[in-house]
């Protein structure tokens, strides 16, 4: 493994362990409520959830049926909270790749070493991708075990499809943070851009289904290519996931070119 990749993974180690424990605990907490939901279909069934305001149902992914395993898992884990946790984790790690060390002054020391700038960006990205992959594998296994334990009866392949989408979505936003950091060298700006794109993209995708004025914007929302395919219901939306992967590659190339041409002070 290249030295920069292994060093970056060591730097990320504590954060990745913390996020893995946190996301697993979150999933365990919410999934543990499922048995009580099935005992009260009058409160949590489709007819009851239909009484909620339409905007709330849209933001929560439709809130179709909390008493079905796939409906509960989709609404409580894979619609909003799970993706947002991955996005925040990935953005923090992407920010630590270039912007944070540049502000702290340690990046200049790294650039004095005989290493090409393009290689530096690529290997920091590789460490980000490997770290997120490890996080996704562990949390996927945890969700799989937890769904079996509480009786959600969701096929492992569907859980894998949803988790793959969360990984690709997180990697997109982590690479976005890396690209903005490579271009401007300021972590606050990078996090602000990620926050605007994440929140705006989610709202546009969920609300755009029923609001014609913003419906056309769904195609530029990263969340569209994760949520629209409904992976927990329909399996892998291969085309949508390829779009997310392609957008991530485009951001990586942008980061490499921007960092290679910018004066970092060395």
Whether 178 and 125 have beta carbons less than 8 Å apart is answered as yes
> Which among 137, 101, 72 is positioned nearest to 266, based on CA atoms?
101
pLDDT in the model for residue 128: 96
- Which tops the pLDDT comparison, 1 or 30? 30
Count other Cβ atoms within 10 Å, centred on residue 135: 26
Q: Which phi and psi (to 5°) does residue 190 adopt? A: -60, -45
For residue range 116-168, what is the model confidence (pLDDT) as tens digits? 889 999 999 999 999 999 999 999 999 999 999 988 889 999 999 999 999 99
Mean pLDDT of 221-248: 94
Q: Where are the domains of the chain?
A: 3-261
pLDDT in the model for residue 106: 79
Count other Cβ atoms within 10 Å, centred on residue 47: 9
- pLDDT above 70 for 64: no
Specify burial of residue 153 (Cβ count, 10 A radius: 0-12, 13-18, 19+): exposed
**Placement of tokens 């994760």 in the chain:** 226
Q: What percent of the chain has pLDDT over 90?
A: 53
Between the two ends of the chain, the Cα-to-Cα distance in Å is 27
- Give the span between the Cα atoms of 170 and 131, in whole angstroms: 11
- C-alpha distances in Å from residue 252, one per residue of 92, 118, 158, 187, 225: 16, 10, 29, 17, 19
Mean pLDDT of 245-260: 95
Q: What percent of the chain has pLDDT over 70?
A: 88
pLDDT in the model for residue 50: 56
Ramachandran quadrant class, 236 (left: phi over 0; alpha: psi -120 to 50; beta: rest): beta
Give me the helix-helix angle, 238-261 and 156-184, nearest 10°.
Answer: 20
For residue range 185-233, what is the model confidence (pLDDT) as tens digits? 888 999 999 999 999 999 898 888 777 888 889 999 999 999 888 899 9
- Which tops the pLDDT comparison, 106 or 74? 74
Whether 188 and 105 have beta carbons less than 8 Å apart is answered as no
**Position 46 confidence tier, pLDDT thresholds 50, 70, 90:** low
pLDDT in the model for residue 266: 47
pLDDT in the model for residue 215: 85
pLDDT in the model for residue 60: 61
pLDDT in the model for residue 40: 65
- Which tops the pLDDT comparison, 257 or 50? 257
Which residues are CB-contacts of 167 (< 8 A; sequence separation ≥ 6)? Answer: 86, 132, 133, 136
- pLDDT above 70 for 41: no
Question: Rg of the chain's alpha carbons, rounded to an integer?
Answer: 20
**Position 115 confidence tier, pLDDT thresholds 50, 70, 90:** confident
């Amino acid at each position: 493994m290249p030295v920069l990749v292994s060093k970056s993974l060591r730097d990320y180690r504590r954060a990745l362990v913390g996020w893995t424990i946190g996301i697993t605990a979150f999933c365990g907490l919410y999934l543990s409520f499922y048995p009580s939901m099935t005992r009260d279909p009058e409160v949590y069934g489709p007819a009851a959830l239909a009484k909620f305001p339409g905007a709330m149902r849209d933001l929560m992914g439709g809130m179709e049926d909390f008493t079905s395993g796939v409906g509960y898992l989709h609404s409580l884990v894979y619609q909003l909270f799970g993706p947002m946790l991955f996005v925040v984790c990935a953005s923090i790690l992407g920010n630590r790749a270039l912007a944070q060390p540049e502000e702290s002054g340690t990046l200049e020391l790294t650039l004095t070493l005989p290493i090409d700038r393009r290689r530096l960006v690529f290997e920091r990205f590789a460490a980000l991708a490997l770290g997120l992959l490890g996080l996704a594998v562990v949390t996927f296994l945890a969700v799989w075990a937890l769904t079996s334990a509480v009786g959600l009866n969701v096929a492992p392949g569907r859980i894998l499809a949803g988790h793959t989408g969360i990984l690709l979505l997180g990697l997109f936003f982590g690479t976005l943070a890396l690209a903005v950091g490579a271009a401007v060298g300021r972590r606050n700006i990078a996090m602000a851009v990620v926050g605007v794109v994440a929140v705006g993209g989610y709202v546009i995708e969920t609300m755009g289904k029923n609001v014609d004025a913003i419906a056309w914007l769904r195609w530029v929302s990263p969340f569209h290519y994760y949520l629209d395919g409904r992976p927990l219901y329909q399996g892998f939306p291969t085309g949508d996931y390829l779009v997310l992967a392609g957008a991530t590659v485009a951001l990586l190339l942008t980061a490499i070119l921007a960092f290679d041409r910018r004066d970092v002070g060395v």
